[in-house]
A and B are shown apart, each in its own frame.
Chain A
Amino acid sequence: AQSVTQLGSHVSVSEGALVLLRCNYSSSVPPYLFWYVQYPNQGLQLLLKYTSAATLVKGINGFEAEFKKSETSFHLTKPSAHMSDAAEYFCAVYSSASKIIFGSGTRLSIRP
Chain B
Amino acid sequence: AAGVIQSPRHLIKEKRETATLKCYPIPRHDTVYWYQQGPGQDPQFLISFYEKMQSDKGSIPDRFSAQQFSDYHSELNMSSLELGDSALYFCASSLVRRRTGENTEAFFGQGTRLTVV
Contact = CB atoms under 8 A, between A and B. Distances in A.
A-side binding surface: helix, strand, loop or mixed? strand
Contact of B103 (A43, A45, A97, A103): A97
Contacts, number: 57
A71 to B, nearest CB: 22
Interface residues of A, number: 23
Interface string B50-68: 1000011010000000000
Q: Is the interface of B mostly helix, strand, loop or mixed?
A: strand
Nearest to A42: B110
Contacts of A98: 31, 33, 48, 50, 55-56, 103
Contacts of B58: 99
Contacts of B103: 32, 94, 97-98
Interface string A57-99: 0000000000000000000000000000000001000101111
A103 B108 contact: no
B43 A34 contact: no
B25 interface: no
Contacts of A36: 108
B102 A104 contact: no
Contact of A96 (B43, B56, B109): B56
Given A43-B111, A44-B108, A98-B33, 8 more contacts: A34-B106, A42-B111, A43-B90, A44-B90, A45-B108, A46-B105, A98-B103, A99-B33
22 contacts: A34-B105, A34-B106, A43-B111, A44-B92, A45-B108, A46-B105, A46-B106, A51-B102, A90-B43, A94-B103, A96-B56, A97-B55, A97-B101, A97-B102, A98-B50, A98-B55, A99-B48, A100-B33, A100-B45, A100-B106, A103-B42, A104-B42
What are the nearest 5 A-B pairs in CB distance?
A: A98-B55, A98-B56, A44-B108, A43-B110, A98-B48
Interface of B: 31, 33, 42-43, 45, 48, 50, 55-56, 58, 90, 92, 96, 101-103, 105-111, 113
